[in-house]
Amino acid sequence: MTIKNLPAAPAVRPHARVESDLLPKAMEHWNPAIKAAASDDNTITMYDPIGMDWWTGEGVTAKRVSAALRNIGDKDVTVKINSPGGDVFEGLAIYNLLREHKGKVTVQVLGLAASAASFIAMAADEIQIARAGFFMIHNAWTIAAGDRNDFTEVATFLDQIDGTLADIYSIRTGDEIKAIRGLMDVETWMGGSAAVDAGFADSLLPSDAVKEDANALAPQQIAARRMESILAKQGMPRSERRALIQELKGSTPGATSSGTRNAADTQADLAEHFADLQAAMSRFSAAALK
């Protein structure tokens, strides 16, 4: 497989009414503690949502990947992925960057490569996946608002995006576009061996290539991501979810403290977060009924 055979992805973002979003189910199935057992200077890690992460202020962005590739130069690069996906347009930009890299690109799926992370992986010359790892592909997912004309326009645009993604998956796997679109329609999850059999990966990673880092996320970060998933299921627009999470981040007791906090303090913080979340959901539901 050579990346020169892969199609370039459109880099144009749509108008403001179409906003890519993270699939809540992917967030629920993501274990952020899964990391690579080892890496080197020619490694790019993707251990966060694709696009800006509202809680950490980081995330996997095209800007970050571009900077890493410039630092590596034309050398071979290994991309290690454990991500629930995220912004499809940011993902397409990252896909293009990896596709155009002059050195060999090897992708290693350590845990989850869902949604946007799954088609980023397709840009590699070689794809390896952990036996316990997963690919997940689905149709572009968003929350939209407007009248019937707005929704018709959004649906048409999303269909175009789905067609682009199906084309990428089809060329990588050798499967027909119609079959790929069928897999995307039903939201398909593939374990390591199934992904290799289906052509989404070339081989399985050895078991010692993956480790679980218990300190990968602070309890407050886990709580924030659980909140985001719940709010997305409730239909709260992305901009409102972001504002709420930023508000909670700013009001988190001890958020900027470098001292060690005990378990009781942490549990109290989480209880406060979820109380705020419940109040926010009530406000959102009341507003939606007006």
Which two tokens mark 236? 């709260």
Number of H helices, E strands in the chain: 10, 11
Helix (H) or strand (E) segment spanning residue 174: none
Beta strands in the chain (DSSP E): 34-36, 43-46, 51-52, 59-60, 77-83, 105-114, 126-129, 134-137, 188-191, 203-204, 210-212
The residue type of 229 is S
Q: Which of 133, 34, 159, 142 is nearest to 87 (CA)?
A: 142
C-alpha to C-alpha distance for 49 and 209, rounded to whole angstroms: 21
Q: Which residues pair with 59 in a beta bridge?
A: 52
Residue pointed to by tokens 């175009």: 160
Instruction: Provide DSSP, 16-44.
Output: TT--B---HHHHHH--TTEEES---TTEE
Where in the sequence numbering do the catalytic residues fall? 115, 138
Is residue 136 within 8 Å of residue 112, measured between CB atoms? yes
Residue 199, burial from CB neighbour count under 10 angstroms (0-12, 13-18, 19+): middle
Is residue 265 within 8 Å of residue 254, measured between CB atoms? yes
How far is CA 185 from each of CA 4, 140, 281, rounded to the nearest angstrom?
A: 28, 10, 29
DSSP strand pairing (77-83 vs 105-114): parallel
